[in-house]
Amino acid sequence: MTSAMLGTSTSAVEVTNISRHGFWVLLNDEELFLPFSEFPWFRDMAIGKILHVEQPSLDHLYWPELDVDLSVESIRHPEHFPLVSRAGT
């Protein structure tokens, strides 16, 4: 009998760097940049809240302390996903 929990994601997601222009997320072996100009929800947030990111599914990142959900595809191709919120603008 194994002690692994069913339904628990084993995918690794980590914020690796934050600059005044945005931040980088390492998702498995891919590094993605989230510029604050495209993702304004993060611009004025505390670093600790940005660092706390989860990956509930393969194409879904979630920042629980900020209540921000993003599709990984929207990070790769933000031009295909018009902003719904104008927070921080």
Are 78 and 34 in contact by the 8 Å Cβ rule? The answer is no
Q: What is the pLDDT of residues 27-62, one digit of tens each?
A: 988 999 999 999 999 999 999 999 999 999 999 999
Give the start-to-end residue ranges of the domains of the chain. Answer: 14-80
Nearest residue to 15 via CA among 57, 48, 64: 48
* Two structure tokens written together for 37: 């100009």
Q: What is the pLDDT of residues 64-87, one digit of tens each?
A: 999 999 999 999 998 888 765 445
- Whether the pLDDT of residue 4 is over 90: the answer is no
The pLDDT assigned to 81 comes to 82
What is the arithmetic mean of pLDDT over 12-28?
A: 95
Q: What amino acid is encoded at 85 in this protein? A: S
N- to C-terminal Cα distance for the chain? 53
Residues for the chain: how many in total?
A: 89
- Whether the pLDDT of residue 5 is over 50: the answer is no
The pLDDT assigned to 83 comes to 63
85: Cβ–Cβ under 8 A, 6 or more apart, which residues?
Answer: 40, 41
- Whether the pLDDT of residue 10 is over 80: the answer is no
The pLDDT assigned to 84 comes to 55
Nearest residue to 65 via CA among 79, 40, 47: 47
How far is 51 from 57, CA to CA, in rounded Å? 18
